[in-house]
Copies of this chain bind each other. A is one copy, B any other.
């Protein structure tokens, strides 16, 4: 099943556009930590997004914990898509090795990727039709403008890259884009550039300060009422949920907040 179908099915089943990011920072029992978060929040999510860096930082033990977490997730909730947050991107032979690691060894349904080296550097990912390639276009960090806003023929660089992804790279319909939540106007621009179909992974809600309602209104866009637009946003919160006193309740609230913010026509559809 393609990422898009799996994601849409899950989003409709839980009435949720919420993705919970797994960024373990505490040390100690990382697998137990992840399994606890998953068991508390799964009824309210359309996806989980483990961030490899936080597991890698704990060395072999951390990576074993990631494997155990993924094993649990696939066994208990095989219908939940898993996004590997890895931001990889390198020349072809190296990217082939990355794709084997992320898609075959870990079995992620989708991964985040860096576009700077161009299409051929990401081809080993994008050619995997059953998997999602989520290209980092516009990020939520304070210094994102430094290069992403450089003007290329009258257009910010990130918009140019997004347009290339949408118009040239996405021939298999399995490309998505990372568009940060902290700048809703950019999310609106992004939706306009790619049309209603492409899935955006939107990090930066919660701990990084992105406003939920603004994000939903800007990102889902005008065609929110049709089925194809539903599921085209994956709104990620990591520490905002996992560090809260009651992750289950926090996830449910954020799921509902996202739901409330979607245009009326969307809410009227049976799910």
Which residues on the B side are within 8 Å of A141 (C-beta)? Answer: 91-92, 117-118, 120-121
Cβ B144 vs Cβ A117 within 8 A: yes
Would you call A175 an interface residue if the criterion is a C-beta within 8 Å of the partner chain's C-beta atoms?
no
Q: Assuming the A-B contacts A88-B87, A105-B59, are A54 and B118 also in contact, with contact meaning beta carbons closer than 8 angstroms in the complex?
A: no
The contact string, 1 if C-beta is below 8 Å from chain B, for chain A 9-22, is: 00000000000000
The contact string, 1 if C-beta is below 8 Å from chain B, for chain A 77-106, is: 000000001011111111101101100010
Cβ A139 vs Cβ B152 within 8 A: no
Would you call A167 an interface residue if the criterion is a C-beta within 8 Å of the partner chain's C-beta atoms?
no
Would you call A161 an interface residue if the criterion is a C-beta within 8 Å of the partner chain's C-beta atoms?
yes
Give the CA-CA distance A229 to B161 in the complex, in Å.
36
Would you call A57 an interface residue if the criterion is a C-beta within 8 Å of the partner chain's C-beta atoms?
yes
Which residues on the B side are within 8 Å of A119 (C-beta)? Answer: 143, 146
Give the CA-CA distance A25 to B100 in the complex, in Å.
12
Cβ A97 vs Cβ B143 within 8 A: no
Would you call A257 an interface residue if the criterion is a C-beta within 8 Å of the partner chain's C-beta atoms?
no
Give the CA-CA distance A59 to B150 in the complex, in Å.
38
Min distance, Cβ A23 to any Cβ of chain B, angstroms:
7
Would you call A183 an interface residue if the criterion is a C-beta within 8 Å of the partner chain's C-beta atoms?
no
Min distance, Cβ A88 to any Cβ of chain B, angstroms:
7
Which residues on the B side are within 8 Å of A116 (C-beta)? Answer: 114-116, 136, 147-148
Which residues on the B side are within 8 Å of A161 (C-beta)? Answer: 147
The contact string, 1 if C-beta is below 8 Å from chain B, for chain A 120-161, is: 110000000000000010011111111110111100010011
Give the CA-CA distance A136 to B144 in the complex, in Å.
17
**15 cross-chain CB contacts under 8 A:** A23-B93, A53-B88, A53-B98, A54-B94, A57-B101, A60-B63, A60-B67, A87-B90, A91-B140, A92-B141, A117-B136, A119-B146, A147-B157, A147-B161, A152-B152
Q: A60-B60, A118-B144 are in contact. List 6 more A-B contacts (CB 8 A).
A: A53-B101, A114-B114, A114-B116, A117-B139, A150-B160, A152-B152
A residues with CB within 8 A of B: 23, 25, 51, 53-54, 56-57, 59-60, 63-64, 67, 85, 87-95, 97-98, 100-101, 105, 114-121, 136, 139-148, 150-153, 157, 160-161, 164
